[in-house]
Amino acid sequence: MKKSKKSSIQNNKNSLADAAYEKIKRMIITLHYKPGEYINETEICNELNFTRAPVHEAIHRLASDKLVQIIPRKGVIVQPISLDEITHIIEVRNINEPYCCMRAAENATPKEIDQMVALLDKTPQMIEDRDVVGLVDLDRQFHLIIANASKNPVLADMLSGLYSRISRYWVATWTSSKKLQLVYDEHLNILKKIKSRNAKAAASAMEEHIDSIDLTQLYGPIIRLKSHQR
């Protein structure tokens, strides 16, 4: 049965909104749009070559994700950097991700494990190239695969939002090769435990990974970002 013209138009609108959402989100995560910066829908349309409707919808989705704020009669502002926010996100991750990783060790499909292996295989060259944006994106994808492999869609959806919110902090603070190598080594350890189907060890590896985050090393770069906020 052929799809109706109305259905095709709606699907196209949804597709454009999704594309606009992903592009704007990436520009926020990579700090192209700075924390505290006002962004204009018309300028975004011109920069990304979208019409107004999908951009408008994308902005409202990003507001739900806590990546922008819509301020009545003033406009749209990129969510400002907050030291409290990163602390709270890490606390929530520490509560939920070890359990998520445990479930992934029990439920991950061979395809999901292969996807994690393929991602980590790219890491050494990216570290050598100091491709921080690429590594942060890889980190987010790695954790998303684990979240989806838990086979708990509610948990995966919650963690997906947290990964988007925290990624821009990593772009700002992953400034040393030592830190990049540490993250890689911890990812390898997590993957090893998932592949071995050792649920308890996988949970411990994820807990160690999150506990290794040194908040004191984040303060300097984050405070410098905060100083540029309006």
Q: pTM for the whole thing?
A: 0.84
Of 45, 78, 111, the residue at which a domain comes to its end is: 78
List Cα–Cα distances, 189 to 123, 139, 160, 184, 206, in angstroms: 14, 14, 21, 9, 9
The reported pLDDT for the residue numbered 141 is: 96
| Residue 9 confidence (pLDDT) above 70 | no
- 40 lies in the same domain as 90: no
- The CATH number covering residue 202 comes to 1.20.120.530
Task: Give per-residue pLDDT as tens, 142-157.
Answer: 999 999 999 999 999 9
Domain that holds residue 136: 83-227
Q: 78 pairs with which residues across the strands?
A: 68
Domain CATH for 15: 1.10.10.10
Q: Specify whether 45 is located in the same domain as 110.
A: no
Kindly state whether residues 218 and 130 are assigned to the same domain.
Answer: yes
**What integer pLDDT is reported at residue 175 of this predicted model?**
83
pLDDT tens-digit readout, 56-72: 999 999 999 999 999 98
Residue 226 banded pLDDT, cuts 50, 70, 90: low
Total domains present in the chain: 2
Choosing from 32, 55, 78, the residue where a domain stops is 78
Residue 35 and residue 148 in one domain: no
Q: Contact, 96 vs 148, CB < 8 A?
A: no
Measured CA to CA, the distance from residue 144 to residue 112 in angstroms comes to 10
51 and 89, same structural domain? Answer: no
Residues 122 and 9 in one domain: no
Same domain, 158 and 209: yes
Which pLDDT score is estimated for 123? 97
Asked if 62 contacts 100 with a C-beta cutoff of 8 angstroms, the reply is no
Comparing 21-35, 43-57, 119-133, 212-226, the range with the smallest average pLDDT is 212-226
**Which pLDDT does position 6 carry in this prediction?**
54
